[in-house]
């Protein structure tokens, strides 16, 4: 029984990694590629690590497997965010099928200012937050 | 936080006094420590709110894994079939999170679910710009993002 679960976890994990690499080849622009690589690959690593933890079933190995899962979950989204953001602001073209872009009108490429678009009518009624700079 | 430390100390005491140093025994100690803390919570002001937090964290992990797998399958389907069903775009989401730690957590969670990638926060920290892959039903997407945000914020507050 446990053999079947381990095998399934490893195969499904490897399939997700294969999907991630297919996604890099097939998807049309940088941002959609970032979608495919980070999440599918992270899920693949998580599944394989769960299988490893089940196979060895020792405290040391299980602790390390869960540490790997935690660090993947902490670092993968940060890397995706930084690469995607840098690519967007450097000016990589979005795919022609992109439906809408609410960031572009709020961004000033000269001063690198990014407005929220809520300034005009909301600022009058806005409560000050403790995170505001004086 | 004090609750978590007490829970860990009780578990360690359980392991040491029992003399059986295994991972399973530590988990058993954690469970018994949690039950103890739930029982004495009304009389100790420092523990206030601790018992409710653990089930909320577990519920959130379950909810997140469900979202992760469903959204991954959707992206996988679109990669494998030749015509593109996706309608990508950048949307602006108003943030309920206020401190930098909260914004970081929310942005990370949004980046982790497939189909959404957080791009940037506006300078006044009130709007998060998100690149989404499936904008065919924008209202539904915004609602699920907001549900995820409020669930994540409930863990801290």
- For B119, the closest of A43, A84, A100 (CB atoms) is A84
CB contact under 8 A, B72 and A103: no
Q: Given this model, what pLDDT does residue B7 score?
A: 86
Residue B17 CB partners (closer than 8 Å, separation 6+): none
Q: How far is residue A13's CA from residue A36's CA, in Å, rounded to a whole number?
A: 14
Q: Chain B residues with CB inside 8 Å of A59's CB?
A: 22-23
Q: So what's the ipTM on this one?
A: 0.72
Crossing angle for the helix pair B50-80 and B23-40, to the nearest 10 degrees: 130
Question: Has residue A11 got a pLDDT over 90?
Answer: yes
The verdict on B56 and B130 lying in the same domain is yes
Residues B150, B119 within the same domain: yes
The domain in which residue B41 lies consists of 2-47
Q: Do B11 and B38 belong together in one domain?
A: yes
Q: Supply the CATH number for residue B54's domain.
A: 3.90.1150
Which residues in B lie closer than 8 A to residue A98 (C-beta atoms)?
87-90
* B101 and B24 part of one domain: no
Please tell me the distance in Å from B76's CA to the nearest CA on chain A. 7
To the nearest whole Å, the CA of B127 is away from the closest chain A CA by 5
**Percentage of chain A exceeding pLDDT 90:** 11
The reply to whether B145 touches chain A by the CB within 8 Å rule is no
Would the CB atoms of A85 and B92 count as touching at under 8 Å?
A: no
Segment B43-77, tens digit of pLDDT:
877 777 777 778 888 888 888 888 888 878 888 88
pLDDT tens string B102-137: 888 888 888 887 778 888 887 777 888 888 888 777
Q: Are residues B58 and B116 in the same domain?
A: yes
B106 — contact with chain A (CB < 8 Å)?
A: no
* Residue A14 banded pLDDT, cuts 50, 70, 90: very high
Average pLDDT of every residue of chain B: 82
User: What domain count does chain B have?
Assistant: 2
List pLDDT tens digits, range A88-134.
888 777 777 777 777 777 777 677 777 766 666 555 555 555 555 55
Q: What is the pLDDT of residue A10?
A: 92
Instruction: Say whether A16 and B76 touch across the interface (CB within 8 A).
Output: yes
Residues whose CB is less than 8 angstroms from the CB of residue A31 and which lie 6 or more positions away in sequence, other chains included: A84, A87, A88, A92, A94, B88, B117, B119, B131
Quick check: A25 contacting B, CB < 8 Å? Answer: no
Q: CB distance from B42 to chain A under 8 Å?
A: no
Contact B94 A27 (CB under 8 A): no
For residues B98 and B80, state if they share a domain.
yes
> Can you give the pLDDT at residue B154?
78
Q: Which residues does residue A101 pair with via DSSP β-bridges, in sequence order?
A: B90
Statement to judge: residues B128 and B111 lie in one domain: yes
CB < 8 Å to A76, chain B: 111-112
Q: Tell whether B42 and B56 lie within a shared domain.
A: no
């Amino acid at each position: 029984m446990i053999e079947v679960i381990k095998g399934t976890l490893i195969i499904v994990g490897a399939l997700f990694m294969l999907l991630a690499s297919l996604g890099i080849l097939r998807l049309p622009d940088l941002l959609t590629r970032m979608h495919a690589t980070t999440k599918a690959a992270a899920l693949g690593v998580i599944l394989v690590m769960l299988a490893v933890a089940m196979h060895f079933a020792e405290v040391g190995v299980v602790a390390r497997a869960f540490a790997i899962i935690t660090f993947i979950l902490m670092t993968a989204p940060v890397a995706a965010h930084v690469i995607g953001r840098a690519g967007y602001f450097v000016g990589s073209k979005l795919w022609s099928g992109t439906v809408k872009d609410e960031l572009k009108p709020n961004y000033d490429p000269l001063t690198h200012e990014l407005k929220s678009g809520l300034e005009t009518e909301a600022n009058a009624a806005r409560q000050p937050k403790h995170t505001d700079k004086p | 936080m004090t609750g978590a430390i007490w829970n860990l100390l009780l578990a360690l005491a359980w392991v040491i006094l029992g003399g059986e140093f295994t991972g399973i025994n530590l988990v058993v100690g954690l469970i018994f420590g949690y039950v103890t803390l739930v029982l004495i919570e009304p009389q100790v002001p420092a523990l206030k709110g601790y018992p409710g937090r653990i089930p909320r964290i577990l519920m959130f992990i379950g909810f997140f894994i469900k979202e992760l797998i469903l959204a991954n399958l959707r992206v996988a389907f679109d990669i494998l079939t030749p015509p593109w069903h996706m309608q990508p775009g950048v949307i602006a989401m108003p943030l309920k999170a206020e401190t930098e730690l909260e914004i970081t957590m929310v942005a990370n969670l949004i980046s982790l679910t497939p189909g959404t990638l957080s791009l940037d926060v506006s300078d006044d920290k009130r709007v998060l710009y998100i690149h989404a892959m499936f904008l065919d039903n924008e209202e539904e997407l915004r609602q699920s993002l907001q549900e995820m945000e409020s669930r994540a914020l409930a863990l801290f507050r």
